């Protein structure tokens, strides 16, 4: 298996909103270093995620949301990439005639 790291293509959409990650981290009262330690990632990767230079993969987004106590969708952009649903789809109520 090839273990090379895949870089995000310049201009490719991110799975997260860098500003939302920064805002959620600050609201949680965490530093970048503390959050990186909680997520078991490097400080540099955390800086790059918040700066929008690196993409937060779905697993990392879920871990961030757990640490922040928010929904994954709070950290994601509106329409550029498929959203990660935290909850299963809700059944639509049936119309009775």
Q: Name the region of 29 (left: φ>0; alpha: ψ -120 to 50; beta: rest).
A: left
pLDDT of 80 higher than 70: no
Residue 31 lies in a domain: yes
Question: Is 49 within the bounds of a domain?
Answer: yes
Query: Taking 70 as the threshold, does the pLDDT of residue 95 lie above it?
Result: no
Structural domain includes residue 7: no
pLDDT category, 62, cuts 50, 70, 90?
very high
Q: Is the residue at 59 inside a domain?
A: yes
Q: Judge whether 89 lies within some domain.
A: no
Length of the chain: 97
Confirm whether 23 is domain-assigned. yes
Angle between helices 32-39 and 43-51 (to 10 degrees): 110
User: Quick one: pLDDT band at residue 89, thresholds 50, 70, 90?
Assistant: very low
Tokens read off for 61: 């987004």
Residue 92 falls within a domain, yes or no?
no
**Assigned domain for 44 exists:** yes
Query: Which CATH number fits the domain that encloses residue 64?
Result: 1.10.260.40
Tens digit of pLDDT for each residue in 11-47?
677 788 999 999 999 999 999 999 999 999 999 999 9
Q: How far is 21 from 63, CA to CA, in rounded Å?
A: 12
Domain boundaries, position 55? 18-73
Number of domains in the chain: 1
- Sign of the CA dihedral with 3 first, then 7, 8, and 10 last: negative
């Amino acid at each position: 298996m090839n273990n090379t790291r895949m870089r995000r293509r310049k201009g490719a959409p991110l799975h997260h909103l860098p500003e939302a990650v920064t805002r959620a981290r600050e609201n949680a009262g965490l530093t970048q270093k503390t959050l990186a330690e909680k997520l078991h990632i490097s400080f540099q990767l955390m800086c790059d995620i918040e700066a929008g230079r690196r993409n937060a993969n779905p697993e990392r987004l879920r871990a961030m949301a757990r640490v922040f106590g928010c929904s994954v969708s709070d950290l994601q952009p509106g329409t550029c990439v498929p959203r990660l649903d935290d909850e299963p789809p809700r059944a639509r109520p049936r119309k009775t005639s």
